[in-house]
């Protein structure tokens, strides 16, 4: 099942490009002419979004056959075939751009995630995403992160309690904030607290935090925090972590490393439809 939100996004995408027709293909090709093509990786990448691309082709013309050659999450080399598409020429050319726009972008997220995950291999730290996703794309972005080997942070504001500095400031302290959260939030959710210095950790733990988020710590500080926390809470780090620095953070021992760039700054990877 595609969720209604994803269905709506696909409908928006087709409508914005093709809703009023494709004057070029309609002018040039006969309605029944047929063609086949291949979607090819033009650079090394990790693929994601195949089900969406298939759906796009199918919505433009139910008669189009889309056969994926690999699954989401597969690493591809340059020139390798991702999928084969066959059907009416008009339909293929009209759907091409929209299908590729989804595939290039989601594979971009998966590819970048894969690089982060590879960079921390063996350390025990998990790479997780954030809520800095493309508006309208939350579910798809999070699925692409999983395709790249990452894990998901909370899917929305209802699926986890995360008390940040703004919350603490407006609430009058970590202790008050955590206690209110524990009293009022659904008991199915853990309570996570963002701290920006070592001194705040004990207050957060004492108040009952289940997860400590170390924001903008350097690896050495993370190491100290991890030791201080022990097994009293799960430890997550965040804040401007790059491919260059992520290994050092991972080796400092946190459970989780969250990286906004996975979804907000992945560039599209190059894929093309070759007839």
Q: Which of residues 163-192 bind a copy of itself (CB under 8 A)?
A: 163, 166-167, 169-171, 177, 180-181, 183-190, 192
Q: Measured between alpha carbons, how far is 215 from 236 in angstroms, rounded to an integer?
A: 8
Residue in 101, 123, 221, 228 binding a copy of itself, rule: CB under 8 A? 101
Closest CA to 255 of 154, 125, 150, 153: 125
Please pick, among 58, 69, 97, 182, the residue that the annotation labels catalytic: 97
Give the nearest distance from C-beta 76 to a copy of itself in angstroms.
18
Contact status, residue 216 vs residue 186, Cβ threshold 8 Å: no
Q: Does 13 bind a copy of itself (CB under 8 A)?
A: yes
Q: Does 32 bind a copy of itself (CB under 8 A)?
A: no
Q: Which is nearer to a copy of itself, 82 or 211 (CB)?
A: 211
Q: Does 14 bind a copy of itself (CB under 8 A)?
A: yes
Q: Does 85 bind a copy of itself (CB under 8 A)?
A: no
Q: Does 115 bind a copy of itself (CB under 8 A)?
A: no
Residue in 125, 127, 128, 144 binding a copy of itself, rule: CB under 8 A? 128
Per-residue three-class SS string for 141-170 = HHHHHHHCCCECCCCCCCCCEEECHHHHHH
Contact status, residue 81 vs residue 143, Cβ threshold 8 Å: no
Please pick, among 42, 126, 146, 164, the residue that the annotation labels catalytic: 164
Residue in 44, 75, 81, 160 binding a copy of itself, rule: CB under 8 A? 160
CA-CA-CA-CA torsion for 244, 247, 253, 254, nearest 10 degrees?
A: 60
Q: How many residues does the chain have?
A: 275
Has 164 been annotated as catalytic?
Answer: yes
Q: Does 93 bind a copy of itself (CB under 8 A)?
A: yes
Q: Measured between alpha carbons, how far is 254 from 234 in angstroms, rounded to an integer?
A: 8
């Amino acid at each position: 099942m595609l969720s209604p939100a994803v269905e709506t996004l696909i409908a928006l995408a087709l409508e914005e490009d093709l809703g009023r027709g494709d004057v070029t293909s309609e002018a040039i090709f006969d309605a029944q002419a047929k063609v086949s093509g291949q979607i090819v990786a033009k650079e090394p990448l990790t693929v994601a979004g195949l089900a969406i691309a298939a759906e796009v082709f199918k919505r433009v013309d139910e008669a189009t056959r889309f056969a994926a050659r690999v699954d989401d999450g597969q690493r591809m080399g340059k020139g390798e075939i991702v999928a084969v598409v066959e059907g009416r020429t008009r339909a293929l050319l009209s759907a091409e751009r929209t299908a590729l726009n989804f595939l290039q972008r989601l594979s971009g997220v998966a590819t970048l995630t894969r690089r982060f995950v590879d960079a921390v291999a063996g350390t025990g730290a998990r790479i997780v995403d954030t809520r800095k996703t493309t508006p309208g794309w939350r579910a798809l972005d999070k699925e692409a992160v999983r395709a790249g080997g990452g894990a998901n942070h909370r899917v929305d504001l209802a699926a986890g309690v995360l008390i940040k500095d703004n919350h603490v400031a407006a609430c009058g302290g970590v202790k008050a904030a955590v206690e209110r959260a524990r009293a009022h939030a659904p008991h199915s959710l853990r309570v996570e607290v963002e701290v920006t210095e070592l001194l705040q950790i004990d207050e957060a733990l004492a108040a009952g935090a289940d997860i400590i988020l170390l924001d903008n710590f350097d690896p050495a500080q993370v190491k100290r925090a991890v030791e201080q926390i022990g097994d009293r809470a799960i430890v997550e780090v965040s804040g401007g972590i790059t491919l260059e620095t992520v290994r050092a953070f991972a080796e400092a021992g946190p459970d989780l490393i969250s990286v906004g760039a996975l979804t907000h700054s992945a560039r599209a990877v190059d894929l093309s439809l070759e007839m």
